[in-house]
Amino acid sequence: MLKVVCVVDKTGTALDRLAKQVIPYHDNIEYVVCDIHPKRPDENQLRTFELEATDADIIDFQYFRSAELLLALYPQLKNKKLVLTHNNPYSYKESKWDWADANVGNNNEITAGLKAQGSPNVSHIPITIDVDFWKFKEDWEPNKTIIMVANRIESKKGILEAATAAGNLGYRFILVGAISDSSYFNEILQTGNVEFHEQISDEKLLELYHKSSLLICNSVDNFESGTMPILEAMACGIPVLTRKIGHVPDLYNEHNLFINDNPSSEVFLLQKEIEKIFNDKKKMAEVRQEAWHTVRNYNNERRAYSYQKLYRSLYPEKPVSIILPVCENEDVTRKCIQAISEQTYSNLELIVVDDGKEPQQGLIEQLRAYLNIPVRYITNYENDYGLARARNKAVIEATGDILVFIDQRMIIEPDAIFEFVNNLSERKWVYGNKGGKKDFVENFSCIYRQDLIRAGMFNERINKYGGQSQEVRSRTRMQGIKHEYIETAKATPSGKSRNKWTKRYEIMEMKNKLFKMELL
């Protein structure tokens, strides 16, 4: 199983939350989050990291200072695949970061800067949140309550100015965060009408968002790269007033946020902006609706998927996703997966889609521990002939540029996938040798993922046995996709399918569908 160790700065920080939020979507790999204080790591932190990093395939650094510290302590880490995500707008210019196999920018400005200075293998993966958790407040009414959320309460956040503006207006001011500068915090409290919450749960924070009418982000320039509270408030249906910092230019479409173009220190101008917003209830309602349409695209599932594609891009071979629908018969499944594990081609992931009444999840979990490739398990059973749906589910989840379809009964030879990939080109669907040359069949074949998606994938209207191969073969040929037999890509069926002789009337029904579709 692929193992990734993700390094963050400290437990409970925004980076830690970002890393842990994607864990549910990394169920096909071993994904471990380690916190390493960038200046004063304790012995337990280092001991845990040493233990986890020993057999890790990839080290994913989410903070550059922690990365620099660990690389100095453990030079052997450079033998691993290394990813560095840049979450600081003021630090990415310090180096070209050419020790990293991949560099990630969390907003467009940082990403463009990394590319301009020649940092290797740069990609853009934005900050995301759990949009399902931060529920949209449907029965919203403005109530002159302002909220600010800060991981650290310090002057660069512009909290004092916002609290002063709210106090001058007589508005309730909710502040959530951790006290970093006690004297600064005391100044904030002296503005009056401040309700402070420290180290609260996400559930409590959600409750506070729903009690608020406006979130303010008033940080100085070149300090924030992308604050999660902006996304959280947008998801909750709470309008946001923010300066154009960090990822705000990436999010802003002129309708989904209120923008404060004034300096962070200008209390009077901020106060006027707040007054203007609260005097236009209709505009506030429009902004919160537009914000939801934006933030729904910034969810954790997308972030996890993007990182998995990035991890796979670190290896020299093109990433391949093997799609294996299974239905009952664990012994046959075991033999099939054993053959997959012996492939000479290395950059693989296996997606098992279970279409059987008796789930095989236990078997897959057992085998996963011994396989050196990521394995994803998806259920598909709906008491029907769900083969097309099963394959389509896997195509959507696949992180490989290339797809290999294998029937549960196929025992593929060790170099089968290598032979497929070696003979593949765009707009071509290659199929293998199952004991002699036959016409194209999709149950032992290989195609570029985007070619199949653009062709419409598999037809879920072919919902009984007897027409799927012919339908997809005829349709893709008409679309200009070439089908080619690869004799050197070999597999041996384990047993024979009896469907052809036991489902005569289903076959006839599907052939009639194909006739009416003019595919016969």
Q: Tens digits of per-residue pLDDT, 403-413? A: 999 999 999 99
- pLDDT, the chain, mean: 93
pLDDT band (50, 70, 90) for residue 380: confident
Q: Tens digits of per-residue pLDDT, 151-172? A: 889 999 999 999 999 999 999 9
The residue written with tokens 């002159």 in the block is 144
First to last CA, the chain: 44
pLDDT band (50, 70, 90) for residue 498: low
pLDDT band (50, 70, 90) for residue 501: low
Strands 482-493 and 410-412: antiparallel
Instruction: Supply the pLDDT for residue 136.
Output: 97
pLDDT band (50, 70, 90) for residue 199: confident
Strand order in the sheet with 258-259: 194-197, 172-179, 145-153, 214-217, 240-242, 258-259
As a whole number, mean pLDDT of residues 302-326 equals 97
Minimal CA–CA distance to 461: which of 504, 510, 508? Answer: 510
As a whole number, mean pLDDT of residues 386-401 equals 95
Instruction: Supply the pLDDT for residue 105.
Output: 96
Helix (H) / strand (E) containing 49? helix 43-54
CATH architecture of 145-295: 3-Layer(aba) Sandwich (3.40)
Instruction: Supply the pLDDT for residue 502.
Output: 64
pLDDT band (50, 70, 90) for residue 69: very high
The CATH class for the domain spanning 3-124 reads alpha beta
Instruction: Supply the pLDDT for residue 290.
Output: 98
Which fold is adopted by the domain 316-516? Spore Coat Polysaccharide Biosynthesis Protein SpsA; Chain A (3.90.550)
Residue 302 pLDDT > 90? yes
Sequential DSSP letters for 224-271: -S--HHHHHHHHHT--EEE-S-TTHHHH--SSSSEE--S-TT-HHHHH
Residue 372 pLDDT > 90? no
As a whole number, mean pLDDT of residues 262-270 equals 96
In percent, the amount of the chain with pLDDT more than 90 equals 81
Identical fold, 3-124 and 145-295: yes
As a whole number, mean pLDDT of residues 481-489 equals 95
Q: Where are the domains of the chain?
A: 3-124, 145-295, 316-516
